[in-house]
Structure 1
Amino acid sequence: MRAKTQAPGLFTALLLVLGFLAPAPAPACTTILVGRDATADGSVMVSHSDDGLGDGRMIYVPAMDHEPGAMRRVFYSHCALDFMPQWGATESHRIVTADRGPGYDTPGDPPSVPLGAIPEVPHTYAYFDANYGIMNEHQLSIGECTDLAKVHPLPEPGKRIFYSAELSRVALERCRTAREAIRLMGELIEKYGLYGTGETLLVGDPSEGWVMEMCGYDMDGTGGVWVAQRVPDSGFFVAANQFRIRDV
């Protein structure tokens, strides 16, 4: 006696399997840095796939001169936790402000509300910006990916005002080299506090590349935890949503 084929059941099972295998959008960035001796033309290369939601514009922030006593405002980043309209971070505009050139000055939209401010420097460099800072006029480049951490502190004025996005922008505004950028971002974390997810920043200049990892210290504390390591000139470094540094 021939057994009957359970065609409807097999078809349903096949659809379920195909459904699990189908690609789905995921907010999961990948960033790569290649040392100068590992590239054909001797360049240090930094790449970043910004796999997330929100404002997809790339904006040019011009070089600027600032008056003595000026303060540099620090804004919330939706990449840290989620869109928070109370800080002016929406799906259509990451920042609305008149003090970063015409690209971010969008009349008719509510201005972003700063989490705090830090003393400004006399001159800031021009750079390209997106959800994170990209590259400045001195070829200082930054790539990013988000990492799982034990705590994801909320932003709080006076205690935790920085996330990697604004850290990267301040670094591009003020630094010429990767080493300068690492040192500055570390100092800002320690002094002004870090909120949001764990983060990796790959920082490269024409001569060398560095990896910097950071996360919040605790849900209610200030400061943060960070570590940095130089990438060998003949090597490369790939970060895909995991902390990679194991010893320094």
Structure 2
Amino acid sequence: MRKFLAIFAFLMLVARFDAGACTNVIITPGASKDGSSIVSYAADSHQLYGELYFHPAARFRAGSMLRLTDWDTQRPLGFIDQVPSTYQTVGNMNQHQLIIAETTWGGRSELFPDENADGIDYGSLIYVTLQRARTAREAIDIIVSLANEYGYVSEGETFSIADTKEAWIMDIVGKGVDRKGVVWVARRIPDGYICAHANQARITRFPLNDKSNCLYAP
């Protein structure tokens, strides 16, 4: 019995950290043999299985709404305005070869959202943005716009965002209960370099006057 309880406790401990077991590796075009942008996305868990979400390109009538559900818990999060047209996506890439992946790092507890609030979670930010953006810079703008308009209901995240020409890394976290929007910073990875992150915010210091390579919340 003691052996069973010890094994059970160990398994529960492992399960507790499944959400914190993601890894991204980002390779810029200048660092790959054929000039491609490459992003790997691993979620190391015996409970998670590889899935390729498919969304066909589509057109929508004016006034259409998009229902959101939390990617992790499937909790309904309400509705947001739908755009007139969307791009096709397969997995974490769209038809323009824009890629978005993530790892979760949590952050300070006072910046966590209300668990019952409506808004947009990190998973919805990824897949909604892939349907709306053509480039990495457009994706950053859309992520920020959606989170600020509808409210961000996840913990701290690092996004890997790459298109055919450049790759960016973006740290994002909410403002806490009853404060809408996000605090964020994004830096372009210099061409010819690689970058990786695994459940740890990556950007520490950053320039305030280099809009070509660094964007951040005002």
Same fold by TM-score greater than 0.5: yes
Deviation at 1:55, TM superposition (A): 6.3
Question: Which 4+ runs in 1 deviate beyond 6 A?
Answer: none
RMSD between superposed Cα atoms in Å: 2.0
Deviation at 1:50, TM superposition (A): 1.8
Deviation at 1:76, TM superposition (A): 1.5
Q: Look at both structures and tell me which one has the larger radius of gyration over its CA atoms.
A: 1
Scaled by the length of structure 1, the TM-score of the pair is 0.70
2:179 corresponds to: 221
* 2:117 maps to 1:156: yes
* 2:131 maps to 1:137: no
Scaled by the length of structure 2, the TM-score of the pair is 0.79
CA–CA separation in structure 1 for the residues paired with 2:49 and 2:193: 33
Structure 1 or 2: larger strand share? 2
* 2:53 maps to 1:59: yes
1:128 corresponds to: 90
From 104, 114, 117, the equivalent of 1:146 is 104
From 160, 165, 170, the equivalent of 1:202 is 160
Deviation at 1:247, TM superposition (A): 2.1
User: Percent identity, aligned pairs only?
Assistant: 37
The amino acid that maps onto 1:127 is T
Deviations 1:147-169 (A, max 9, x none): 13012322412xxx112110011
CA–CA separation in structure 1 for the residues paired with 2:98 and 2:172: 20
Deviation at 1:56, TM superposition (A): 4.4
1:31 corresponds to: 24
CA–CA separation in structure 2 for the residues paired with 1:155 and 1:202: 27
Structure 1 unaligned residues grouped into runs of 5+: 1-19, 88-112
Deviation at 1:196, TM superposition (A): 2.2
2:213 corresponds to: none
Structure 2 unaligned residues grouped into runs of 5+: 1-9, 207-218
CA–CA separation in structure 1 for the residues paired with 2:57 and 2:44: 28
1:247 corresponds to: 205
The amino acid that maps onto 1:60 is F
Aligned pair count reads 188
2:64 corresponds to: 70
The amino acid that maps onto 2:199 is N
* 2:124 maps to 1:166: yes
